[in-house]
Amino acid sequence: MAGIHGHSSRRKRVADSSSGGEWLKLTHIKDALFVGEQSPPWLTTGPAWFSTGPLSGASREPIQVINQGDKSMKLKGLMSAMALATLPLATSGAFAAAPEMTADERAQAKQIYFERCAGCHGVLRKGATGKNLEPHWTKTLDDGTKMEGGTLQLGTDRLERIIAYGTEGGMVNYDDILTKEEINLMARYIQLEPDVPPEFSLKDMKDSWKLIVPVDQRPKKQLNKVNLQNVFAVTLRDAGKLALIDGDTHKIWKVLDTGYAVHISRLSASGRYVYTVGRDGLTTIIDMWFEEPTTVASVRLGSDARSVDVSKFKGFEDKYLIGGTYWPPQYSIMDGETLEPIKIVSTRGQTVDGDYHPEPRVASIVASTIKPEWVVNVKETGQILLVDYSDIKNLKSTAIESAKFLHDGGWDASGRYFLVAANASNKVAAVDTKTGKLAALVDTAKIPHPGRGANFVHPQFGPVWSTGHLGDAVVSLISTPSEEAKYAKYKEHNWKVVQELKMPGAGNLFVKTHPKSKNFWADAPMNPEREIAESVYVFDMNDLNKEPKQLNVAKDSGLPETTAIRRAVQPEYNIAGDEVWISLWGGKTDQSAIVIYDDKTLKVKRVITDPAIVTPTGKFNVFNTMHDVY
């Protein structure tokens, strides 16, 4: 079983001439290797930015240094040397030359890097959730010591092993996903200077904009009899599609083309429109009032994107849509019903430490209902922007300093505070959207990854918001304020981690509960161990000291075991709060599934294994997404 902080360990076969293929035991490797949140890569599409030149003119200051981690690390044989080689060393100047690659190899590697690696390590490879992957970096410590490291220092052989076997900190193993040739290709590619994709201007956006069905040609009322509030929008990651599934009948209503690997789906304030954004930057509007759901508009935000949301403040409902991109680092404002581009704002600038960063990516974006504002989280700078859309031509934003490497997050139960993980800083930042100020910066376990988090009333500490962790085997429960008099007695606990729920291993991506449930669900799809990654864990909120119940989703699906791990990911409740839907995320050529559990009995109610269900990941129930029920 995979171990974090010495709970257990795992064995991997290391193919090396000096070891004779010896079986090696690996413990406490999480800090010595690369940490990431990569997705299983069976991808065939991607962006059209195949530039050829190396990075020039950008800062070479590293954003993150590889951590030496636990001094009690015990590594055996050749694997010990491989792991220790990833640690920063005192400056020596001894670096090998970059390996050679043909133009075709480099083009193939760029595609693979975008699809599998850029989300965690960055387009320019400066790191965030994942480690810095520049060929060579240097850093001066507070005591004046100069440190250096980089992929050139590791060399091709060691990089191949890291890619093949993954890490205990959240990066999956690729030895059963990529071919040996592809692993070698990537090991060589990341020793070269990063490729830089082109910028993307307002003119580029307008050129990409397609108004497929004008507003005046759309239905004036709902033309179907589907219960729209219980529809699930399901990302079919590698197919570049979105499945809309009727939550009442468990039948697929419609599968639509979208951008590649849709990261999130968001709902209009009316519940009529589904907004999607693919990792390739393509954004679409799907109108569910037609007899069959219909894509009515699309636009491209850039070459790499993650987030969109509509305007939700009274009087501005669905008037505007904002989209954030990883590349170029900027956010865009569009018409909420047509996606016509209106404005682009760059996020390049100084970090909270005062250093210039050329690639501050826009991570999660949410819309406030308290003010006409979006909360825009800028990953590398550590700034949370409150963007006021009440006057687009004279746009105002408030920059709140928090901690670097902001990622995802969600609202507390009151809807006043937004909590976001600064995951590589091991913190959660809380913003008071009423005052427009930082409410707290909470220290957590390693690499928090909440998704949107989960809210419930703790029997001992009152209202809490929760996050799992990619890099640690716990779920952190953070006390949140409440204006309700009955919760006043818990005020002393506010903005503190009041309890850590023990998980069997690291690698969590999503947690979830529901106001009508006594259960708290957590996944662990990024854990390197099959049994853990293929299961979900259910805690009893009436007794959180009990061990969680393990549900092996892969076995419960009834599907045969495959070479690639089928990862159980993202619990999502239906509108009634009595069903939990789990994606079983397999290889592109393997049958995937959505497994639906009865929340009370924890028994399987239905397994959706339609051939159209290809690599399902995120699922967004319309009602729960509209009303931030999680």
288 is a catalytic site residue: no
263 is a catalytic site residue: no
| Sign of the alpha-carbon torsion through 81, 84, 89, 93 | positive
CB-CB contact of 430 with 418 (8 Å): yes
CA dihedral 49, 55, 57, 60 (to 10 degrees): 130
Whole-angstrom Cα distance, residue 438 to residue 448?
A: 18
469 is a catalytic site residue: no
Q: How crowded is residue 21: how many other Cβ atoms within 10 Å of its Cβ?
A: 10
Pairing of strands 567-573, 417-422: unpaired
Whole-angstrom Cα distance, residue 32 to residue 444?
A: 20
357 is a catalytic site residue: no
171 is a catalytic site residue: yes
What token pair was written down for 244?
């809309």
407 is a catalytic site residue: yes
Of 582, 574, 581, residue with least CA distance to 623: 574
Pairing of strands 549-552, 567-573: unpaired
Buried b (16+ CB within 10 A) or exposed e, 252-261: bbbbbebbbb
Q: Which of 449, 469, 493, 514 is catalytic?
A: 449
Q: Which of 120, 186, 205, 503 is catalytic?
A: 120
CA distances (Å), 272 to each of 92, 218, 233, 290, 572, in order?
Answer: 61, 11, 12, 10, 20
Q: Which of 117, 205, 288, 503 is catalytic?
A: 117
Q: Which of 73, 79, 82, 171 is catalytic?
A: 171
Backbone φ, ψ for residue 238 (5° rounding): -80, -15
Whole-angstrom Cα distance, residue 49 to residue 242?
A: 24
CA dihedral 125, 127, 131, 135 (to 10 degrees): 30
13, β-bridge pairs:
23
Q: Which of 28, 73, 82, 121 is catalytic?
A: 121
Q: Which of 263, 357, 407, 493 is catalytic?
A: 407
Whole-angstrom Cα distance, residue 73 to residue 557?
A: 38
As annotated, the active-site residues are 117, 120-121, 171, 407, 449
